[in-house]
Structure 1
Amino acid sequence: MAASESHTLLARPAFDRPVKLLIVVSPYYSDIAEGLLKGAKTELRAAGATFEVVEMPGALEIPTAIGISDRHSDFDGYVALGCVIRGETTHYETVCNDSSRALQLLGLQGLCIGNGILTVENRAQAEVRADPEGQNKGGGAAAAALHLIALARKWGSQSKGIGFKPHGEDTLIADQTNGSDIA
């Protein structure tokens, strides 16, 4: 059973300048959403991050809200929180697949998103995963966003350079084929 497995948790990243995140949560199952939100807020506060929370009707609207926010605000990252419980129709697969795919596409475009949208077979699974004292998937999603922000800041500050870089005399390399110097 997943509740009894142990998992490796990475050390919380440290930041040298403020971090601001948007938590987008669907309160469709309000008690599950509350647990996810509590875990996410606790993790972000422990990292010294600030955050805002917005609610969306369901999991399908979460990626759209993040995309709109990215175009119109200045958040460093995002935490997506919600829950989809399998029902009697194929709507479950549509919601799970499309919300996950949309978040992944936004991530591949450079957004730092922690995905805490639970996709479960039943309410009992959701309760264990949402519980901050249980699997704490809300806290895990917040931690994922923080790690992505740290990575983006690390590599975002490195310049790959454009065009030519001047070299001093000590950077000349001898061309072994014709004896001339190459800068």
Structure 2
Amino acid sequence: MASTETHTVLPRPQFTAPTRVLIVIAPYYRDIADGLLAGAQASLADAGVEAEVVEVPGALEIPTAIKLASRSGSYDGYVALGCVIRGETTHYDTVCNDSSRGLTLLGLDGLCIGNGILTVENHAQAAVRSDPAGQNKGGGAADAALHLIVLARRFRGGRS
């Protein structure tokens, strides 16, 4: 049971150098998306990071939007937010696997991405995970992006 497990959470990085993050969100389930977004924005604000938000139709479009934005050179990192709820067909597997694979490939190309695309069985699971006062997966995705930004700057010899 997940509620009895303990997890290690790294402290949220703080930044002295200007830092910009793009949040790419698929608001297909608006209530879930709003919770994810609130958590991500709070985490980024707490770290002193400037955030911009763009919306895309669904989880499959998130990696493409991040790739397009990365070409501008305007962002230090990205937060991918959305929700995929299992339905009656195998489309769920396609969306989960391909959106995750797309983000992973972008990350392996050097982009700093926090993956906050929920993949759940039902709306109740999504609600608990998206709630900023609950599991706060939006905030967790933002924090993951921040940690990767710190690493990227460290390996380039820059300052955070």
- Please state which band the TM-score falls in when normalised by the shorter chain: over 0.9
Matched, 1:157 2:157: yes
Q: 2:92 is matched by which residue type in structure 1?
A: Y
C-alpha root-mean-square deviation of aligned residues, in Å?
A: 1.1
Q: How far, CA to CA, are the matches of 2:31 and 2:73 in structure 1?
A: 29
Q: Which residue matches 1:116?
A: 116
Matched, 1:14 2:11: no
Q: CA deviation at 1:7?
A: 1.8
Q: 2:93 is matched by which residue type in structure 1?
A: E
Q: Which stretches in structure 1 are left out of the alignment for 5+ residues?
A: 159-183
Per-residue CA deviations over 1:72-113 (Å, capped at 9, x if unaligned) read 241000000000000000000000000000000000000000
Alpha-carbon distance change, 3 to 146 in structure 1, aligned in 2, over 3 angstroms: same
Q: How far, CA to CA, are the matches of 1:34 and 1:24 in structure 2?
A: 12
Percent same amino acid among aligned pairs?
Answer: 70
Q: Is the 8 A contact 1:3 1:128 kept in 2?
A: no
Q: 2:144 is matched by which residue type in structure 1?
A: A
Q: How far, CA to CA, are the matches of 2:151 and 2:117 in structure 1?
A: 22
Matched, 1:48 2:48: yes
Q: Which residue matches 1:34?
A: 34
Q: Which residue matches 2:135?
A: 135
Structure with more helix by fraction: 2
Give the TM-score, by structure 2 length: 0.96
Give the TM-score, by structure 1 length: 0.84
SS at match of 1:141: helix
SS at match of 2:59: coil
Q: Which residue matches 2:63?
A: 63
Q: Which stretches in structure 2 are left out of the alignment for 5+ residues?
A: none
Q: CA deviation at 1:8?
A: 1.3
Q: Which residue matches 1:173?
A: none
Per-residue CA deviations over 1:160-182 (Å, capped at 9, x if unaligned) read xxxxxxxxxxxxxxxxxxxxxxx
Query: Which structure has more RCO (C-alpha within 8 Å, separation ≥ 6)?
Result: 2
Q: Which residue matches 2:72?
A: 72
Larger Rg: 1
Q: CA deviation at 1:133?
A: 0.6
Q: Is the 8 A contact 1:59 1:82 kept in 2?
A: yes
Q: 2:57 is matched by which residue type in structure 1?
A: P
Q: CA deviation at 1:18?
A: 1.1
